[in-house]
Amino acid sequence: MQGNSILNKARYTENTDEWYTDYATVEEEVSHYITQFYNKIVLCNCDDPFKSAFANYFLKNFNKLKLKKLICTSYKGSLIINDSNLKDNNNKKLNNQSAYVLEIEDIGEDKTIELSDTYVFNYLKENRKVKKLNGDGDFRSDECVKYLKQADIIVTNPPFSKFAELFSLIMKYNKKYLLIGNQNAITYKEIFPYIKNGEAWIGYRFGDMAFKVPKDTKPHSTRFWIDETGQKWRSLGNAMWLTNLDMEKRHQKLVLTETYDPRFYPKYDNFDAIDVQRVLDIPMDYKGIMGVPLTYLKYHNDEQFEIVGEANHGSDNEFDLFKPTICGKEIFKRILIKNKKPVENEIKFRILDLFCGAGGLSYGLHKNPHFKTVVASDINKDLAITFKNNMPDVHVIVGDIKEQKIKDQIIQNSLVKNVNMIVGGPPCQGYSLKGKKLGLEDPRNFLFIEYLNLVEKIQPEVFVIENVKSLLSTSKGWFKNEIINAIEKLGYKVDVGVLKASDFGVPQTRERTIFICCKTKQIKLPKPTAGSVVTVRDAISDLSYLDANEGDFEQEYKLPAKSQYQKLMRKNSKKLYNHKASNHAEIAIQKLMMIPPERGKECLPKEMIGKQKFHSTWGRLKWDLPSPTIDTRFDAASNGTNNHPYLNRAITPREAARLQSFDDSFVFYGSKVAVRTQIGNAVPPLLAKAIADQIYSELIENKGE
């Protein structure tokens, strides 16, 4: 078989495979550049023009493309010559021991021909359009270079091993080109500088490409097939078109949807740049250097991004800046880019998070891109570790807020970082008739006073207090009024009420008291945003496969996402964390086996109920309802309605986190007790986001109303 081969028989490489471009592949790519071929001379370096998809395409479309001339060189060994009785321009019969060149300047008005047509053979024979070459047709030979000099555009698929040589030759004579190659060629020292400087770019097809192979090709286990005609095929997953012909695609900007989060963009060990695993993950707001996969070049726009260099593994390219490793592990080569116009995601609210816990409140506020926690504080070291690991760029202060040195650190850091918002849930424990005597002076409410003292010192534009629902009703609202009076004395307008998490897309009926306090206007609490209730099934059905004591801290996902909520929770997570079931006692498992799906202790024999007084103990979650409030003992089978709807175990920390609306990329650290405390005490992030959205809407979007 002859034609345009990627790897020719031992002529240019030791690889004995011959791969030939399909007509449809040529047609598909060239269709994007039609007008650029008008009145141009096209050169196709071929093994044999009579079998070449390139020659065939340009002959068939000679008039449509308005070509001035088509030149096709062959390599010696063409099979068609002996069968066609073709003669060269000296009237000598051609044989397959010689290379030849085919030159066509006119095929007749309104004609469409193919090399297999009788017409073209007669045309070639009568008009002596086939000329014998002195050499073997190697594109590097002097006589082939003469044809290259004549041409305006070179279109071919050179041997991969000689791709750089042909490219350099084309560049030497400043020609236009459309070449098929291997994606590895992008990083060659002869080619990458042109890509970096915007003088070469990727065509439309980049990736999988199919090629015809000879009849004697041995079958392969992958990327090999035989079509209905008996033709054998192989494909490459890393093929590409490389060109300097202008195209519409290279002027389209890449649409970016992600924002920078250091948890998802690790830095390289030996170079100040972040690694971006997928093109669609390029952050819109990152100002530094980013390492992106080679596939990025399909979308590169010179006006949007600068190509800085590449990260390879020891190439001789002067722009190969470092070997890409992360935590000592080598990764595949990367293209290094910088965004010329990163989105200025202006942070309107810089937050101090007091009594921050694991960070549910801050994590949810961050889901509105205009909110950013810059300082956080908690007395519990375990909670602070989880907070810091999930929000690493926040300055976390661990210590007792009652200590003056801790208080001073909080104030100093908040003022330096221009904090204009404070959030937190200060414990208020003096809610009783007995406590009315002292009111907010009750020692049990001291932390609440400390919170308000910090508000007075820092003077934020807005602050948010969250607390238990009963705060509003205790002592017939007396404490609520005390708190409102204290807030108003500081010069803030306040709105207070109870928000139900399920009204904001959280699969849980948790209710919290929320105070939103602002200097300039009263900001109303957000209204429900969820169009429909998110259920336990929506939240955790994809995690329903573990039995008691099964699972690990880190594992692969076993089942696909089964709901939109699950897709949302899994969006930025490559692995599943904190999904480990409790090691229940045998008696606990026996009891659960007696409780049907979605039922509770009413199904147990009286002698097995024990002394538990509450109706909800030993309860199973109901698939098609939100979960009741997740508490800090959700992993105990006997504690409330925390058991799986049908599996004989309590819910895992990850299932509890899902029911709290923590997405799977949020990882909890610490002992079993520490983790369940972190999850059970947290503010659901989607509830926190609703609060952020409301504040932003009132103070920024509707400013002046």
Residue among 473, 525, 515, 512 at smallest CA distance from 492: 515
Q: What is the pLDDT of residue 628?
A: 94
Q: Which tokens is 345 given?
A: 């995601």
Which tens digits make up the pLDDT trace of 172-224? 999 999 999 999 899 899 999 999 999 999 999 998 998 888 788 888 888 88
Task: Report the amino acid identity of residue 76.
Answer: K
Residue among 558, 559, 556, 551 at smallest CA distance from 573: 556
* Cα dihedral 303, 304, 307, 312 sign: negative
CB 487 within 8 A of CB 519: no
Which tens digits make up the pLDDT trace of 114-162? 666 555 556 655 555 778 888 888 899 999 999 999 999 999 988 888 8
* Cα dihedral 538, 543, 548, 554 sign: negative
d(CA 705, CA 703): 6
The DSSP H or E segment spanning 201 is strand 201-213
Q: Poorest-confidence range of 91-105, 268-282, 437-451, 491-505?
A: 437-451
3-state class of 267 per DSSP? strand
pLDDT, the chain, mean: 86
Q: Which tokens is 527 given?
A: 């209204």
3-state secondary structure 31-89: HHHHHHHCCCEEEEECCCCCCCHHHHHHHHCCCCCCCCEEEEECCCCCCHHHHHCCECC
Q: What is the pLDDT of residue 40?
A: 96
d(CA 397, CA 406): 8
d(CA 30, CA 154): 12
> Of 44, 46, 428, 517, which one is the catalytic site residue?
428
Number of neighbours of residue 44 by Cβ within 10 angstroms: 26
The DSSP H or E segment spanning 403 is none
3-state class of 398 per DSSP? strand
Q: What is the pLDDT of residue 1?
A: 34
Q: What is the pLDDT of residue 116?
A: 61
Q: What is the pLDDT of residue 435?
A: 47
Average pLDDT score over residue span 515-523: 96
Which tens digits make up the pLDDT trace of 10-28? 333 334 346 788 899 999 9
Q: Which tokens is 574 given?
A: 């490559």
For this structure, is 72 an active site residue? no
Q: Which residues contact 374 (CB under 8 A, 6 or more apart)?
A: 350, 351, 352, 394, 395, 413, 414, 417, 419
Q: Which residues contact 174 (CB under 8 A, 6 or more apart)?
A: none
CA distances 10 to 64, 94, 449, Å, are 37, 24, 84
* Cα dihedral 686, 688, 690, 693 sign: negative
Which pLDDT band holds residue 94 (cuts at 50, 70, 90)?
Answer: low
Which tens digits make up the pLDDT trace of 55-90? 889 988 999 999 999 999 888 765 545 455 666 666
3-state class of 463 per DSSP? strand
pLDDT at 601 over 80: no
Q: What is the pLDDT of residue 434?
A: 47
Q: What is the pLDDT of residue 258?
A: 85
CB 264 within 8 A of CB 665: yes
Q: What is the pLDDT of residue 161?
A: 83
Q: What is the pLDDT of residue 117?
A: 57
Q: Which tokens is 670 given?
A: 């610490």
Burial of 212-249, coded b for 16+ CB within 10 Å and e otherwise, reads: bbeeebeeeeeeeeeeeeeebbbebebbbbbbbbeeee
pLDDT at 525 over 90: yes
Average pLDDT score over residue span 31-53: 90
Q: What is the pLDDT of residue 444?
A: 54
Q: Which residues contact 684 (CB under 8 A, 6 or more apart)?
A: 360, 364, 501, 504, 506, 508, 510, 660, 661, 662
Beta-strand relationship, 371-378 and 349-354: parallel
By the 10 Å C-beta count (0-12 exposed, 13-18 middle, 19+ buried), 198 is classed as middle
pLDDT at 636 over 80: yes
d(CA 698, CA 522): 9
Q: Domains of the chain by range and CATH?
A: 20-249 (3.40.50), 273-339 (3.30.110), 349-532+688-701 (3.40.50.150), 539-687 (3.90.120.10)
Which pLDDT band holds residue 302 (cuts at 50, 70, 90)?
Answer: very high
Q: Which tokens is 46 given?
A: 């071929």
Q: Which tokens is 607 given?
A: 């002698």
Average pLDDT score over residue span 266-291: 94
**Backbone φ, ψ for residue 591 (5° rounding):** -65, -45
